Structure 1
Amino acid sequence: MSNQIDSAKLLDRAEQLVDLAKKAGADRADAVVVRSRSKGVSVRLGKVESTEASESDDFSLRVFIGNRVASVSANPGFDLAQLAERAVAMAKVSPEDPFAGLADEADLASEIRDLELYDPTEVSADTLRENALVMEEAARSVDGITNSLGAGASAGMGGLVLVTSHGFSGSYAGSRFSRSVAVIAGEGTKMERDHDFDSRLYVADLDAPEDIGRRAAERAIRRLNPRQVPTASNLTVVFDPRVARGFVGTIAGAINGASVARKTSFLRDKMGHQVLKSGLNITDDPLKVRGSSSRPFDGEGVAGRALTMIEDGVLKHWFLSSSTARELGLKTNGRGVRGGPSVSPSSTNLALEPGDVSPEDLIRSVGTGLYVTDMIGSGVDMITGEYSRGASGFWIENGELTFPVSEITLASNLKDMFMRITVANDIDRKFGVAAPTLAIEGMTLAGL
């Protein structure tokens, strides 16, 4: 995995494509190449199940004729002129889109920062296999583990090359190394499963395979012999950081400009209003050095900057790409992401900033409640905010975790949940979404 393999060649090809699109009749155009290289090994019960490798360079050309837009995609080896002519022909018969267009030239990145996103370390398939086997063996060696669902290790890189007809030309690449394992504890009808994983930009930063395996086993064993608990209202629920990250992702979805423009977010009318409990802050930083979701420019060539999306509980920003911003009468904040030929807004390194209390003290303050370690299903209505999801975890009694709990459903409304969050101080920022342990008061638990 050499850094930005043939980036100069890909940039040259993208530039040719844009020039040909202009000659074919496009007013404006951009060309993007999404590069991917990956290899991985999966094992189960001490034997290799699969070894995979993939490589791709996916080209997309987007052309504009007035307010008409069309996009075409192709693999390497295509005829540049034919692709450009086809895109322009499609644009001529496309419906008008008043919000379509390239990013404003003033918003384009003037420099492409080195955010240290790429680790050139070569990891062989043999090393990946060994890591996966060690992980699984570490998990299976823990008393109480009765089966394995498998372990895997992977290494890869991804990159973006972007050229626009109004002067932007740039590329960057990032690496990714991952390890994961899932195991089963118990037997018969009393089996429980759990997993653990790690994913980093730099292979040296990964947790040791033995540690990942041991944690997966310990999590599965802790879930053995779960109980059901009676239905309760006005309950305080504590979310484990692993679950809290998903909850913060729900907040991000509610403040995505595309959802606001489509009127599919229950926060669509809340800009400048308090949407989270006072004192809470949600940040997003695309320029974080070695950040899991960092990028020196977005899918339109715009330089993003660190933003406090929600400050002291007050909504300050939507996630915006250029077209979404125009639709809302705003300016892009560099959160556009290429999904093939299209561009849509998304978060980067997103974090619900931590508080001052330790997770142990937060749990202790609850007295009686529920500590959630796993959520099931996707019962969240982003238009109304209605929230209802299956859950499992541990019952909190006298401020301590006691017995495991399963087969329950948690319900509330996100508008209320957002205003009742208390955060601990144990944030881990290694993933693209970061959140500490958090507690939410006033939830309903449907149980026995």
Structure 2
Amino acid sequence: MTRTPEEISRQLLDAARTAGAEAADAIVIDGSSVSVEVRGGALEHAERSEGTDLGLRVFLGKRQAIVSSSDKRPETLKVMAERAVAMASEAPEDPFTGLAERDQIAQDWDIQALELFDPTSEPSAEALMHDALRAEAAALAVSGVSQVSDAAASYGTHRVHLAMTNGFSGGYKRSSRSTSCVAISGEGTGMERDYDGDSRTFQSDLRSPDEIGRIAGERAVEQVGAQKPATGSFPVLFDERISSSLIGHLLAASNGAAVARGASWLADSLGQQVLPEHLSLIEDPHRPRISGSRPFDAEGLPTRRRAIVENGILTGWTLDLSSARKLDMASTGNATRGVSGPPSPSNWNLSLTQGDQSRADLLRDMGTGLLVTSMIGSTINPNTGDYSRGASGFWVENGEITYPVNECTIAGNLRDMLKRILPANDARPYLSRVVPSLLIEGMTLAGN
């Protein structure tokens, strides 16, 4: 008889108690996925996977141990529990570990309101291949595209259930649907590539394969003839495609785990200005149809909307139970985990205040500088915020794009950079991170 993730998680907890655990939590994830890749008008690769993953964490006082498996047979659950308890008995004490108190755990939630699962029928492999072929054909139809290195479509579902000996038990299921295309322009050493793609919870929200392929092709052609830009201090406009990476650095520095171990350039900035005073950074895990939405975190605590930065002021850290205890604070309900590791703090859906100007307006006003559309590599000093990344994009003169650029480096200090950002109004509202194009004056640019 097929058992649900909820039933398996309960059996894991029973096995843990029988083996001698004083407390425990269990996470069970099962799912399936199918993906198709095409090339040259024919099927290149197709894959389907199904599986169940189990994770069990047990506690003996302040000692903990974690075991995982993909085998859900009852005899395996017994062995997992016995092994975890034996490991915990030998583990060092951690004064900050432990489950949430009963009065902390989530009690009621409306999973239907989050719309995490598309109830329509799973697309067939043939339908996915058709979408991938349409994306490839649309890219190849763009004048100047020499080939398509990859066109793909995929569909997946997964169910997760979390149960704990403190009384928490909850789960949900998700669906995802995506299409992508990578186009190449030029020949030989002059080849350039670019991409486009879309991933949604609901099939009906997904952009058309023809649009995705066309945009990938147009972007690749725009890169032909790329050269190194000048070296000096210039304004840099981070395109909406990659601007969320800047906010990602702020999130990494405001992560409670980094703060607790003394590896954050924001460690002394709580309650201080980190963004321009008219900007706020809002986390909202309850947005319908968004991949980062969830009713509770990986420790069974309720998730909630909060302002990480409000009117430019950093209001708090992102915390799970362990990092909160280390900092003598309360968890923000931001724990995440897989089956083989302990919880750690992470962020859900985020949105940065948008500006009142378009990207074209910012380009016009920046005069001469760099529009960045792609970045590679990263050198970030977690203690000082010193920033250096490889970049490519377009050179701007007199407010107009003049030619594509590559093989350049942009550098600055995140503490200073983020206080000077000027947002456009072009953020895509359906992304998990809703961040518009961002202009920063006076960055160091190394090219020729």
**Cα deviation 1:396-425 (Å, max 9, x = unaligned):** 111122211112111111111111101011
1:9: Cα distance to partner? Answer: 2.7
Q: Is 1:405–2:400 an aligned residue pair?
A: no
Q: Match of 2:53?
A: 58
Cα distance between partner residues in 1 of 2:30 and 2:275: 38
Match of 1:436 in 2: 436
Preserved contact between residue 336 and residue 344 of structure 1 (Cα < 8 Å): yes
Query: Counterparts of 1:83 and 1:57 in 2: how far apart (Å)?
Result: 15
**Does the residue aligned with 2:129 lie in a helix, a strand or coil?**
helix
Query: Residue type matched to 1:252 in 2?
Result: L
Matched, 1:44 2:32: no
Q: CA deviation at 1:36?
A: 2.6
Contact 1:112-1:170 within 8 A present in 2 as well = no
**Cα deviations across residues 249-282 of structure 1 (Å, max 9, x unaligned)?**
2221111111111212111221111112221111
Instruction: Specify the alignment match of 1:97 in structure 2.
Output: 94
In structure 1, the partner of 2:351 is: 351
CA distance in 1, matches of 2:87, 2:407: 52
RMSD over equivalenced CA pairs, Å: 1.5
Q: Secondary structure at the match of 2:4?
A: helix
* Identity over aligned pairs, percent: 47
Secondary structure of 2:343's aligned partner: strand
**Could you report, residue by residue, the CA deviation over 1:60-100 in whole angstroms, capped at 9, with x for unpaired residues?**
11111110111111122252222222211111111000010
Residues 143-197 of structure 1, C-alpha deviation per residue, up to 9 Å, x if partnerless? 1000111100000012210111011111101111011000111112211110000
Distance in 2 separating the partners of 1:321 and 1:445: 38
1:418 aligned partner: 418
Does the residue aligned with 2:279 lie in a helix, a strand or coil?
Answer: coil
In the TM superposition, residue 203 of structure 1 has moved relative to its aligned partner by: 0.7
Cα separation, 1, equivalents of 2:267 and 2:375: 26
CA–CA distance in 1 between the matches of 2:137 and 2:413?
43
| Match in the other structure for 2:264 | 265
Partner residue of 1:314? 313
Provide the residue aligned with 1:26 in structure 2: 21
Q: Residue deviations 1:24-47, cap 9 Å, x none?
A: 222211111022311100011212
1:16 paired residue number: 11
1:77 to 73, 77, 84: 73
Instruction: Note the alpha carbon deviations across 1:298-337, whole angstroms, 9 max, x for none.
Output: 1111111011101111111211111111111111111100
Aligned to 1:372: 372
1:339-368 Cα deviation digits (max 9, x unpaired) = 223111111101222122222212211111
Q: Report the counterpart of residue 204 of structure 1 in structure 2.
A: 204
Aligned length: 442
SS in 1 for 2:97: coil
Counterparts of 2:181 and 2:140, CA distance in 1 = 10
- The separation in 2 between residues aligned to 1:13 and 1:334, in whole angstroms, is 25
What SS is found at the alignment partner of 2:152?
Answer: strand
Q: Does 1:106 pair with 2:77? A: no
Q: Give runs of aligned pairs for residues 44-443 of structure 1, distance below 5 A.
A: 44-75=39-70, 76-77=72-73, 79=75, 80-114=77-111, 115-121=114-120, 122-233=122-233, 235-340=234-339, 341-443=341-443
Deviations 1:125-145 (A, max 9, x none): 000001001100110111100
Q: Distance in 2 between matches of 1:157 and 1:29?
A: 27
Between 424-433 and 218-227, report the one with greater CA deviation.
424-433
Q: How much does 1:229 deviate?
A: 2.2
Moved over 3 A (4+): none
- Which whole-Å CA distance do the structure 1 matches of 2:293 and 2:371 have between them? 32
Q: Determine helix, strand or coil for the equivalent of 1:275.
A: coil
Per-residue CA deviations over 1:36-59 (Å, capped at 9, x if unaligned) read: 311100011212111101112111
Distance 1:405 1:83 in 2: 54
CA offsets per residue over residues 90-121 of structure 1, 9 Å max, x none?
A: 11111000010112222211113221100133
Contact 2:5 2:30 in 1 (8 A): no
Q: Secondary structure at the match of 2:20?
A: coil
Deviation of the 1:228 alpha carbon = 2.1
State the AA in 2 paired with 1:287.
H
Tell me how far apart the structure 2 counterparts of residues 104 and 367 of structure 1 sit (CA, whole Å). Answer: 57
CA distance in 1, matches of 2:381, 2:352: 21
Note if contact 2:147-2:185 (Cα within 8 Å) is conserved in structure 1: yes
5+ residue gaps, structure 2: none
Q: Work out the CA distance in 2 between the residues paired with 1:141 and 1:291.
A: 32
Provide the secondary structure at the position in 1 that maps to 2:139.
helix
In structure 2, C-alpha distance between the alignment counterparts of 1:271 and 1:343, rounded to whole Å: 23
